[in-house]
Amino acid sequence: MDDVDVDDREPSGTPVGRRIVLGMLGLGAAGVAVGASLQDRVSETLSPIGAPFQDVLPAAGGFRYYSVVDEVPRRDPRSHRITVGGLVERPRSFGMADLAALPQTRLTRDFQCVTGWRVRDVAWAGVALPDLLDAVGVSPRARAVRFESFDGAYTESLTLEQARRRDVLVATQMQGGPVSHDHGGPTRLLVAPMYGYKSLKWLGGIEVTDRVIPGYWERRGYDVDAWVGRSNGRDDAPT
């Protein structure tokens, strides 16, 4: 049951293989039974998180390019817009110029995938999510934020408290230039304190909701709260 054959591709366009899902169901039961070795099982069973049906090539700078779908439409930054709606006072969309007109936040952080690869000191810039939320006004009933990728498959979510952190960005720049298509441009999410799977690529829509709706990988067994070093079976000593 832990022996998930990740190279067994589903037909093109199907985001996840049945075998992965079955593997995950097995993981749930096994994880409860064995407790401490959950982390090992997570890495054995799920090591290809983010790339089960796409070739993973080591990219410049140590990044891998991950996508759960075979092809993602390219968006021209001149026409690309992200929508912000749900439990907000002024739902609207933002083009790149609208985002550039909001306060800009820069930060440099290590980027870490739950499978273990890490890229040190990645420089990001964009709009801190709390600033974007302030621009639309969050309703008092709001508790969470949901993110949708224009790849048609990937989703993520944060609690409202997490979404108000200043180290969560709608990133428009990476390493001093625009976010490339392969890295999720024109706009991607960056959730700096969490594992890479929270940092949704090809961001197309943001919806403020009354509860957390688990995202793509969480429905397949990963932790919703994905703090680096303190989730997914890891309990690293504080540094």
Ligand X SMILES: Nc1nc2c(c(=O)[nH]1)N[C@H]1C(S)=C(S)[C@@H](COP(=O)(O)O)O[C@H]1N2
Q: Token pair of 138, please?
A: 């969050």
Nearest distance, CB of residue 165 and ligand X, angstroms = 18
Which residues would be at the binding site for ligand X (CB under 6 A)?
49-50, 63-68, 113, 149, 151, 154, 183-184, 196-197, 199-202
Residue whose CB is less far from Mo ion, 20 or 160: 20
Part in contact with Mo ion (CB under 5 A); list of ranges 93-101, 116-124, 182-190, 191-199 = 191-199
Residue whose CB is less far from Mo ion, 63 or 197: 197
Nearest distance, CB of residue 199 and ligand X, angstroms = 5
113 lies in the site for Mo ion, by CB under 5 A = yes
Using CB distances below 5 to 8 A depending on partner kind, what does residue 221 bind out of ligand X, Mo ion, none?
none
111 lies in the site for Mo ion, by CB under 5 A = no
Residue whose CB is less far from Mo ion, 23 or 196: 196
Nearest distance, CB of residue 167 and Mo ion, angstroms = 18
Nearest distance, CB of residue 100 and Mo ion, angstroms = 28
49 lies in the site for Mo ion, by CB under 5 A = yes
Using CB distances below 5 to 8 A depending on partner kind, what does residue 67 bind out of ligand X, Mo ion, none?
ligand X
Nearest distance, CB of residue 162 and ligand X, angstroms = 16
Give the CA radius of gyration of the chain.
18
CA-based nearest residue to 150, from 55, 97, 80: 80
Give the 3-state DSSP-derived string for the chain, with helices as H, strands as E and coil as C. CCCCCCCCCCCCCCCCCHHHHHHHHHHHHHHHHHHHHHHHHHHHHHCCCCCCCCCCCECHHHCECCCCCCCCCCCCCCCCEEEEEECECCCEEEEHHHHHHCCCEEEEEEEECCCCCEEEEEEEEEEEHHHHHHHHCECCCCCEEEEEECCCCCEEEEEHHHHCCCCEEEEEEECCEECCCCCCCCCEEEECCECHHHCCCCEEEEEEECCCCCCCCHHHCCCCCCECCCCCCCCCCCC
Position 207, amino acid: E
Part in contact with Mo ion (CB under 5 A); list of ranges 39-47, 49-57, 121-129, 135-143 = 49-57
Among 63, 147, 150, 197, binds Mo ion (CB under 5 A): 197
Residue whose CB is less far from Mo ion, 50 or 185: 50
Nearest distance, CB of residue 68 and Mo ion, angstroms = 11
Q: How far apart (Å, rounded) are the C-alpha atoms in residues 30 and 1?
A: 10
Binding site for Mo ion (CB under 5 A): 49-50, 113, 196-197
